[in-house]
Amino acid sequence: MKLIFKLAFAIILAVFAIQRIRNNYFSKKRIKNIADNLADDDFARDLSEQLDMMIFKDSNFELSRIKEKLNNWQQIIIENFDIKAARKLNESTYIFVTVAKYEELDGKRKNTLFFDFCFKVMINEEENLISVYSELFSNLIDKNLRYDFAKKLIKDKY
């Protein structure tokens, strides 16, 4: 009887491990596909329209500094985030394609999860407001990672 429980437990662990590997693989593949197609104007506009969930907004920023930072996105380093691609859609809108690495402790093991995110940064010069949008989040980790990226993108120096 103990052997059956141990075997069932091992199978459950294997299923979760396979699911995590599969999710990480498809997450990276999705982001690569988006990054590869971001140069296409129609694709970028369609993606921008899908990014409609406000994650962060701020009115306390220096316009010239933030525009310089966004235009030089290759130099931006945000811990646990890898910016795969970015694009200036127009004078006030930028799109970022990222992968976030998240490590969680599961008992004695450390699990590494990857989340793929797309962000739209919009600058409203008339109202001196910058807003960051993304897709709908699926859980609290997802929500917090999106917020962390948006806040650090706007607030941190590079």
- Would the pLDDT of 129 be above 90? yes
- Regarding predicted confidence, which is higher, 38 or 1? 38
Question: H or E segment at 95?
Answer: strand 93-106
Say if residues 132 and 56 touch (Cβ distance below 8 Å).
yes
Please report the pLDDT score of residue 139 as a whole number: 83
- Regarding predicted confidence, which is higher, 60 or 24? 60
Note the pLDDT tens digit of each residue in 46-69. Answer: 989 999 999 999 998 888 888 888
Please report the pLDDT score of residue 36 as a whole number: 84
**Amino acid letter, 63:** L
What are the domain boundaries of the chain? 2-155
- Regarding predicted confidence, which is higher, 83 or 16? 83
Burial status of residue 148 (CB atoms within 10 A of its CB: 0-12, 13-18, 19 or more): middle
Average pLDDT score over the chain: 86
Which DSSP symbol is given to 72?
A: T
pTM exceeds 0.85, yes or no: no
Which DSSP symbol is given to 106?
A: E
Average pLDDT over residues 84-102: 91
Cα(31)–Cα(98) distance, integer angstroms: 7
Rounded to the nearest 5 degrees, what angle is found at the Cα of 139, between the Cα atoms of 97 and 58?
Answer: 55
